[in-house]
Amino acid sequence: MQALTKKHHTDNRVPLHLMVHPANIAAIKNYVDSLEKSGSTPWREVAAKRGNIPASVLRGARSKEEVTQTRLSELTGIPQRHISEMERGKRPIGKETARKLAVALKTDYRVFL
């Protein structure tokens, strides 16, 4: 059994390499600088800066599972254009839709609400 220590497990740093569009370099550097100064930022705060939180969560979950909008449409029975509108924040994600998306994307439905 490991003993509790005061040293936080994230004190060790590791190199991180990213492939990003050149237009995003300055914004990413500023974001990383702000993280180093403030510690950490809650994910909902970051998502809110990008716009609609459920839209960001849906886009991220779909990307994580490596599923296209077309394939997600096939898995859920939700029209592809509706998924596109949800990801752009143009269409709300209701409870029943969230449940379908959650099953297909292997996550909890509440993250979409």
For each of the domains in the chain, give its residue range(s) and CATH number, in order of start. 51-112 (1.10.260.40)
Structure tokens at 50: 């990008």
Q: Does the model's pTM come out above 0.85?
A: no
Show the low-confidence residues of the chain (pLDDT under 70).
Answer: 1-13, 38-41, 43, 47, 50-51
Give ∠ CA 65-53-24 in degrees, rounded to 5. 75
The predicted structure's pLDDT at residue 62: 92
The predicted structure's pLDDT at residue 24: 83
73 Cβ contact partners less than 8 Å away, ≥ 6 residues apart: 79, 80, 83
The predicted structure's pLDDT at residue 31: 81
Euclidean distance between CA atoms 47 and 57, whole angstroms: 8
Q: Are 37 and 30 in contact (CB under 8 A)?
A: no
